[in-house]
Chains A and B, each alone.
Chain A
């Protein structure tokens, strides 16, 4: 292989981070926000006393959790143009870039995982909290928004963040639809310059540093916000 070539990494740094890492981080942030919001709604549906709603939400979550993420990415890459056309009432499938396709995929996919976390969070709140909300004259939405969800979020914050670190790692799978995320950018350079060893080792190191750093922060946070019972 003739020596490890650091130069190729250095030359491609601006491209890797400005193009690739930006894509990865934007996608992670969008999917996290969308996933937590939609996931929380799903969790509320799953806990609903109205059976058809809870069954529907349950079916959605179980479906998403039973098939591989790669297959889900393929599904949406193919479906989103048709769904978009249907929503916008266009006769032909609309053109959707890899980024928006990925953003929609990861939001909907991760929502299933965030849902299970939030469900556990909501269920960990004592029932008396809900009753006291109703006793004060609050309705369902007010009780949820002001009493139950803030506590559930606080209890589940470390798990939600850990899930986000996994999401950050999982976004690298957009490679299969040839998107230029951090891995995709590195793969393009690797194949152009035939420097696979250097580029993939570098990618592994960067992912490791970011994920390890974040998970150390989460651990610290966990110790700080833990409620002593």
Chain B
């Protein structure tokens, strides 16, 4: 029986998986949106935009994820006007930690997406941009019709691994009280003292989720691959 006393432990963990996925997907939307904009800005000839983009990337890349979680959860509500802060603090249980977790993960991952987007754009031959300009397109149109559509197709494989990272990283949200998969495995272990079973179940669920994502993305990757290009293996990268 689960801690709430309503269902089986498996059910309890699967609800955890749903929270993990809900956190990861919502954060992924934020990460893609900001990452695409910041990554693109950093390749433009605009000096101030490049600097601003670099600043953003350096800040969120050099602070550990768990510390960023604490900043969003403990520090941010104190920094905004008191009325807003009180409203944030009074949010009912899952949302009070879900929303900061999504914001934190989304922004943390957006930096990594931005790096991929920038690398993708810079991997295109210079001729693509020049051809766009020669056709009479403006800078913005060149990005919209020539550069971005190609680079997004190129960076799909590294983006897939970023998506798997966001699923794994969402486990850090347990430190601010979100009962996602890992958090539930831990509390199940505390209630039942079945440590081995709890962690094994969580591990298996993570492995299956990973497998599913890989298989799904392989289908998508096959569909959007740019014909004629050797599948990008990518340079060796540090990661976690």
A66-B210, A78-B195, A159-B238 known; A196 vs B172 contact (CB < 8 Å): no
Inter-subunit contact B171/A211 (CB<8 Å): no
Expressed in whole angstroms, the Cα–Cα distance for A78 and B61 within the complex equals 31
B44-70 interface bits toward A, Cβ cutoff 8 Å, 1 = contact, 0 = none: 000000000000001101111111101
- CB of B213, distance to nearest CB on chain A (Å): 10
Report whether B66 and A172 are in contact in the complex, using a CB–CB cutoff of 8 Å. Answer: yes
- B225 adjacent to chain A (CB < 8 Å): no
A23 close to B (CB within 8 Å): no
Q: Are A68 and B182 in contact (CB under 8 A)?
A: yes
**Given A116-B236, A212-B58; A69-B63 close (CB under 8 Å):** no
Contact A120:B236 (CB < 8 A) given known A66-B206, A78-B199 = yes
Q: For residue B210, which residues in chain A have a CB less than 8 angstroms away from its CB? A: 66
A9 located at the interface, meaning its Cβ lies under 8 Å from any Cβ of chain B in the complex: no
A197 at the interface (CB under 8 A from B): yes
B169 within 8 A of A: yes
Is there a chain B Cβ closer than 8 Å to A228's Cβ?
A: no
Q: Which of A66, A68, A201 contacts B169 (CB 8 A)?
A: A68
Residues of B within 8 A of A170 (CB): 64, 240
User: Is B155's beta carbon under 8 Å from chain A?
Assistant: no
**Given that A68-B171, A173-B172 are contacting pairs, would A197 and B75 also be in contact in the complex, using a CB cutoff of 8 Å?**
yes
Q: How far is the CA of A197 from the CA of B210 in the complex (A)?
A: 36
A144 within 8 A of B: no
Residues of A within 8 A of B123 (CB): none
A208, B175: Cβ atoms under 8 Å?
no
- Which residue of chain A lies nearest to B82 when distances are taken between CB atoms in the complex? A1
By a CB distance below 8 angstroms, the chain A residues around B171 are 68-71
Majority DSSP secondary structure for residues of A touching B: helix
- Is B239 an interface position by the 8 A CB rule? yes
Number of chain B residues whose Cβ lies closer than 8 Å to a Cβ of chain A: 41
Interface presence of A215 (CB below 8 A): yes
Question: For B202, what are the chain A residues with a Cβ–Cβ distance below 8 Å?
Answer: 71
Contact among B79, B172, B238 for A162, CB-based, below 8 A: B238
CA distance A159 to B239 in the complex (A): 10
In the complex, how many angstroms separate the beta carbon of A214 from the nearest chain B beta carbon?
A: 9
Residues of B contacting A212 with CB < 8 Å? 58, 62
Known contacts A69-B168, A196-B75, A201-B71; is A183 also within 8 Å of B64 by CB? yes
| Residue in A169, A176, A211 whose beta carbon sits within 8 Å of that of B175 in the complex | A176
Contact of B236 among A69, A156, A197, A211 (CB under 8 A): A156
Q: How far is the CA of A163 from the CA of B65 in the complex (A)?
A: 15
Residue of B nearest to A120 (CB): B236
Is A67 an interface residue when CB atoms closer than 8 A count as contact?
A: yes
Q: Complex formed: what's the CA distance from A2 to B206 in Å?
A: 44
Interchain CB contact under 8 A, A203 and B67: yes
**Residue B174 lies at the interface, judged by CB distance under 8 Å to chain A:** yes
Chain B positions within 8 Å of A207 at CB level:
62-64, 67
CA distance A29 to B136 in the complex (A): 56
Q: Which 8 A-B pairs have the closest CB atoms?
A: A120-B236, A211-B62, A68-B171, A163-B238, A169-B64, A162-B238, A68-B168, A172-B64
**Given A69-B240, A173-B66, A201-B71, 6 extra CB contacts under 8 A:** A1-B78, A71-B199, A75-B203, A159-B238, A196-B78, A201-B75
